[in-house]
Chains A and B, each alone.
Chain A
Amino acid sequence: MGRYVVRRLIQAIPVLLGATLFIFAIVFALPGDPIAALAGEKRQDPNIVNILREQYHLNDPLLLQYWYYISGIFLRGDFGRTFAGVPVSELMAGKFQITLNLALTALVLEAVVGILLGLWAALRRGKAIDTIILASTLLLISVPPLVTGFVLQLWLGVWLKQQVGVEIFPIAGITAGFKAYLLPGFVLAGSSIAYLTRLTRTSLVETLRSDYIRTATAKGLSRRRVIGRHGLRNALIPLVTYLGADLGTLMGGAVITETIFNIPGIGLQIYQGVYLREQPIVVGIVTILVLVYILANLVVDLLYAVLDPRIRYE
């Protein structure tokens, strides 16, 4: 198992290098001069533009620029600076914390609500509650987060506060601490909750039909034990895969939610980075996101072995 983990981590190195070079090249290939574009409609002094271009190595060929960047990271632990002169590592440290808070809130909401609803629907298969759950998940999937975000912000944020006079769900920003993440977390998790509910239901329904469940029931085990120990545990494998992959998506794909709820996370930062063609920001964030994906996948694979003792890694 230890060797397996080490091997997986070593495999991650070329993936990381490849991903950084790829992203670096993509941002490099975008049209236009990022320095000149900073000035908007006013023409910046061409002299100053050139000096800044030199300073950020923008006049050098792609591979040389990439070398400056990657050697900075490995030799000096320096992720570079933004055009505004802020060290990217400093910027990322703050942003990742915020996005991680948001993504984990979403992930927990997703796991708890999704699995419970799926469980409920599976156990009441064909009944009214099953239909209601399936219908409402369909609704949740079809409404985009842009809509749920604004609607929930207006109702649970603005309207509710105007009615009761106290802020129950903060309208925007993260200054209120943990509770500020609840509403955006739910919006972010919205469609994932729906997918997970459906996945849990299907997976559990299928498992509950298998022979070993019949055997367990025939042995006289309690219903709780049959469903919990033999049914749910076996049904969890696809769910864990889904949740693991979703963590990365939740972290990197929160641009809309972060904008609506004014959460200064990496989703927005990556968008701004691409927009301003700030390679250090884009590549730095993507590198860490790739790492998150790799680690989440590793954890998922290891969890398989815990869930299903027949799976062994050597």
Chain B
Amino acid sequence: MSDALARVPELLAAHVLLSLSALALGLLLALPLAVWSARHPAVARVALGLASLVQTIPALALLALFYPLLLATGGALPALGFLPALLALTLYAVLPILRNGVTGLLGLDPAVIEAAEGVGMTRRQRLWWVEAPLVAPIVMAGVRTAAVWTIGAATLSTTVGAASLGDLIFAGLQTQNWPLVLAGCIAAAGLAMTVDLILAAVERGLARRRRWQVRGALAVLAAGMALALAPLWPVRGGDTVTIGAKGFSEQFILARLIGDRLTAAGYRVRYSEGLGSSVAFGPVASGEVDVSVDYSGTLWTNQIQRTDVPPRPAIVKGVADWAAREHGVRLLGTLGFENAYAFAMREDRARALGVSSIADLARVAPRLAFGSDVEFLERPEWRSVQGAYGLRFARANAYHPTFMYRALASGQADVIPAFSSDGRIAADKLRVLADPKGALPGYDAILLLSPARANDARFVAALRPLIGAIPVETMREANLLVDRDVDKRSPEEAARWLAARLRRPRASP
């Protein structure tokens, strides 16, 4: 718990950097656009129309849309991380500033504009000396709205791999650690309220033409930002590495395990958490993430787009060759356990229906409800299983992984695609169905190193002891420490627990 809260300053800094950068960029975009729009009604219609359209797109979808957009640049721009989050949030910030700017400019007293022209001002003089000061308080009200929206929406940037206070919320939801969720919410809301208060002071200062108040409030804002950003200030002599993690407990634990080893080896460590499972490879290839744990079958089916299912070692070899050849990513080795998709049912239900394999399941499936996680229904593995067994369920619902198990326990779902390393399979007494046709590939946990770290001897030496060191039983226990409902542990604690139980390395690799 306290370990997790220790990340608040770092995440707050990232959150401030992201949301205020987006706000600044939004201002830079919206202000000239507002001036242009106020002069040309046609421009105003298009600009305000587009900005309103952007606003109707849910923030999460807007973030998601920038991923394929940036991917289309062919690697010229990073598709995950800070950039897509910044761009999406910038678009979000434009509307309130633009709308208030246009409204303000069009609402100016025509006599004042006539006087400005009559006295012989150029357009630029009129803009800076008359229009800008008169419209400033109205624009500032728009900036406040944009600031609050941007700071709120920035919590969602976790999903595209940009660090923010959303990391706490998503991690807390994943591990059912409600104080963590609350900490993320309170920190984000507190930040939004503080920034809004300061900007309100700026707005009042502008409206009452009190220059000292405007300058004072802006100075407070700048000082606050500098303070909030302190954790991001570069530390001399430290080699900072970023550890990537997808959004579930096992990944959080393994990220901490790796992080602790790298810290011990003298690296400064950052975490980039909550990446979508099938896009998590991208940041490793681009070097935004230095090291991550992935699963051989995920890359095999989603990245290489193979539909055949060879034996597990062949898949690992195939992935290793492909990653090195196509992306310069090094597959350092397997951790020793597999986290495969495993169709699971409640033991009592499976016995009553006489189901012990997916082939058995196919017979009774039309009467059953399938509860899956959000991703599985979209993945090639699901199509492969459907094709091999002719699976058709009465209905299929997508849940957050945590709630998927709840749905199975409560009977809302009869079958779920569980994860074979999940401690809840044993704890909930679930029956894992056999895959006699071999429709699902192997999912060996593999350690991936970015091109820059592939030949970093110190880095490799720090992580090599993890290779083959984690049996699936140990991983399940560690996962259960975090996932269980009573006496929950944090991923940090589970990582330390796991570190003490690593299998001794074999004599020779």
Whether chains A and B associate is no
Residues of chain B touching chain A, judged by Cβ–Cβ distance below 8 Å, are none
Residues of chain A touching chain B, judged by Cβ–Cβ distance below 8 Å, are none
